Structure 1
Amino acid sequence: MTEWKEFKVHINGEATEAVSNILIELGSAGVSVADRKDFLSLPEYGFDTLWALDEKSFPADGVVIKGYFYGDAASKATKMALIEKIEMLKSFDLDIEKYEVTTEDVVEEEWANAWKKYYHPVPITRYMTIVPQWEDYIKRHDAEKIIYLDPGLAFGTGTHPTTKLCLQALENNLRGGETVLDVGTGSGVLTIASALLGASKIQAFDLDDVAVKSAYDNIKLNNLKTEISVKPNDLLKDIDVKVDMIVANILAEIILLLIPDAFKNLKPGGKFLSSGIIIEKKEEVLASLKNTGFEIQQINQMGDWIAILAIKPEED
């Protein structure tokens, strides 16, 4: 039986997305996140029978993020690189003064099946449900849209508040035929949702090649008809198009860098949906959006997380 190494990071929840990305960048075969807030919050639309969670698996405070490494990647050097990259996150003003990194050997056969007991169909809205690819799932009604994901590839499985906020906003704003840019696509969940909601053309970007492959594979799982491209790129650097909507579920500090290019690449009347914003960074992001010329249409909150929908004004 092959042994893998589990790298476990116990840290403030504000760093969830960033640490998950770091683990994938270092070569993790997948990422799982245990957050007590997820356990204590019943599904928004009451389908609690779809959850199979053990309270003992959730930390009393913060979050526990796990990555899985094999071979040369499962080394002390990888652990040191992980700690070094986490330390670098402090330059983004994240509250991560206290964190713990531990490792543990895991038998491959046990690890391969361990994913499945934590991932079950999750209703994100009344009309959108995320389903692991191995689950047999029957629609609750004809209008329900199913997003199939492979959590083993995940940069985000749709259940984190930042992603939920984006999915709900997309459902409320896409009417069909729109062109969309998905910046920092990760697992591709927002691209998939946009396609299911009728977007006619989507370009998805991520800085990391592993994320690009993750998104591409998940998009293939869903047999989408929309014209979709997934490419590596540094935010919207050197991108020059005019689209109806741009969506970015990334750190607030990165959103601040993205705002000028988002404004440039939107049509008049186009919408910029940004999420991944911890509540303490809300006013800074709002001020930057307004200073760039955006009008704020909506601010939504789930727990400590904020999503902002902004509009590029129509030309006079």
Structure 2
Amino acid sequence: MTEWKEFSVAVNNEAKEAVSSILMELGSSGVSISDRHDFLQLPEYCEDTLWDLDEKDFPEDGVIIKGYFTEYDELDRIEKDLTHQIKELNNYGIAIDHLSITINDVKVEEWSSAWKKHYHPVNVTRFLTIVPQWETYEKSFSDERVAYLDPGLAFGTGTHPTTQLCLQALETCVFPEAKLFDVGTGSGILSIAAHLFGAKEVHAYDLDEVAVKSARDNIKLNKLEEIIQVRANDLLKGINAKADIIAANILTEVILPFIPDAYERLEDNGYFIASGIIMDKKDKVIESLLEHDFEILQINQMKDWVAIISKKIKKEE
């Protein structure tokens, strides 16, 4: 029976992205983050999300970040390097508070069965339901679309507000024969949903090779590997083709410099769906979109998160 080592890092919230990156750079097969803020932001999390979550699993302070390594990895070196690199973050302006690292044994078969029992279908919109691959599901409506998903270790199930906002926006914007770019695809759920909503050609991009593999696995699970193309790429750099719709569920800090590229890679009157925007940064994104000749069509909010649907306005020559 294969055994895994779970490195569990308790640290302040401000350091979670950096610590997650360190774990991945050290060779973790995936990263999970238990963040009370995310837990509280999930809409009606007790019944209407894929996960049947237990509040006791989420820390009162800070976050718990877990990385996974096999019993064949150099575990002593990994523990030493992990501790050293996290403490070094102080030198880069990232304060480290109440740091603790624990290592636990995890048998992969026991692990899989333990978390799968908490994973259920969720009706994201009237026309879209996300279903775990190991569950049987019968449609409630004849026009209901079903996306099957195995989120694996590192990427989401489609229930986070930013993803739900994107899925709802896709339902509004996608039209038959549309060509779509999914930037920062993660689990691939946006690409899958886009095709189910009618997009004819879908291209999914992510900088993270682990995300690319996750997306490919989920796309294959839905038998769409001949339709949805996935590749590792830094946003849309080096992509010369144009799309009718660009969906980007990424951080505000990445969206802002990406807006000019989105404009260039859209057909005239094409739609740009930007999500992953925290409420207090909404105005900055709107201002930048307007400056780059986008028309704001919708601003949708769920808890503290915002998604903006905008349209490319052709510049007068």
Pair 1:185 & 2:185 matched:
yes
Equivalence map 1:286-297=2 (5 Å)? 286-297=286-297
Q: Distance in 1 between matches of 2:240 and 2:183?
A: 14
Alignment partner, residue 304 of structure 1: 304
Q: Distance in 2 between matches of 1:185 and 1:309?
A: 18
Cα RMSD after superposing both structures:
3.3
Alignment partner, residue 102 of structure 1: 101
Question: What amino acid maps onto 1:211 in structure 2?
Answer: A
Q: Which moved more, 1:78-87 or 1:212-221?
A: 78-87
Equivalence map 1:1-316=2 (5 Å)? 1-10=1-10, 23-24=23-24, 26-36=26-36, 48=48, 52-61=52-61, 63-70=63-70, 71-72=72-73, 74-77=75-78, 80-81=81-82, 84=85, 98=97, 100=99, 102-108=101-107, 109-152=109-152, 154-224=154-224, 227-314=227-314
After superposition, the Cα gap between the structure-2 partners of 1:20 and 1:282, relative to the gap in structure 1 and judged at 3 Å, is farther
- Note the residue ranges of structure 2 that are not aligned, 5 or more in a row: none
- Normalising by structure 2, report the TM-score: 0.84
Q: Distance in 1 between matches of 2:187 and 2:152?
A: 10
Secondary structure, counterpart of 1:67 in structure 2: strand
Percent identity over the alignment? 57
Q: Choose 1 or 2 for highest CA Rg.
A: 2
Q: Which moved more, 1:58-67 or 1:42-51?
A: 42-51
Secondary structure, counterpart of 2:73 in structure 1: helix
Q: Which moved more, 1:304-313 or 1:110-119?
A: 110-119
After superposition, the Cα gap between the structure-2 partners of 1:85 and 1:219, relative to the gap in structure 1 and judged at 3 Å, is farther
Q: Distance in 1 between matches of 2:311 and 2:87?
A: 34
Q: Do 1:212 and 1:232's aligned partners in 2 also have CA atoms closer than 8 Å?
A: yes
Q: Which moved more, 1:125-134 or 1:21-30?
A: 21-30
Q: Distance in 2 between matches of 1:114 and 1:85?
A: 30
- Alpha-carbon shift at residue 136 of structure 1 (Å): 1.5
Secondary structure, counterpart of 1:286 in structure 2: helix
- Alpha-carbon shift at residue 252 of structure 1 (Å): 1.2
Q: Distance in 1 between matches of 2:263 and 2:229?
A: 21
- Note the residue ranges of structure 1 that are not aligned, 5 or more in a row: none
Q: How many residues align?
A: 314
Q: Do 2:248 and 2:275's aligned partners in 1 also have CA atoms closer than 8 Å?
A: yes
After superposition, the Cα gap between the structure-2 partners of 1:222 and 1:280, relative to the gap in structure 1 and judged at 3 Å, is same
Question: What amino acid maps onto 1:260 in structure 2?
Answer: P
Cα deviation 1:50-85 (Å, max 9, x = unaligned): 753323212335544433221316455367458848
Cα deviation 1:31-60 (Å, max 9, x = unaligned): 444344565577569955975332321233
Secondary structure, counterpart of 2:112 in structure 1: helix
Secondary structure, counterpart of 1:118 in structure 2: coil
- Alpha-carbon shift at residue 285 of structure 1 (Å): 2.0
- Alpha-carbon shift at residue 18 of structure 1 (Å): 7.5
Cα deviation 1:84-127 (Å, max 9, x = unaligned): 48977998x9x976474523212313223222133221221122
After superposition, the Cα gap between the structure-2 partners of 1:112 and 1:42, relative to the gap in structure 1 and judged at 3 Å, is closer
Question: What amino acid maps onto 2:104 in structure 1?
Answer: D
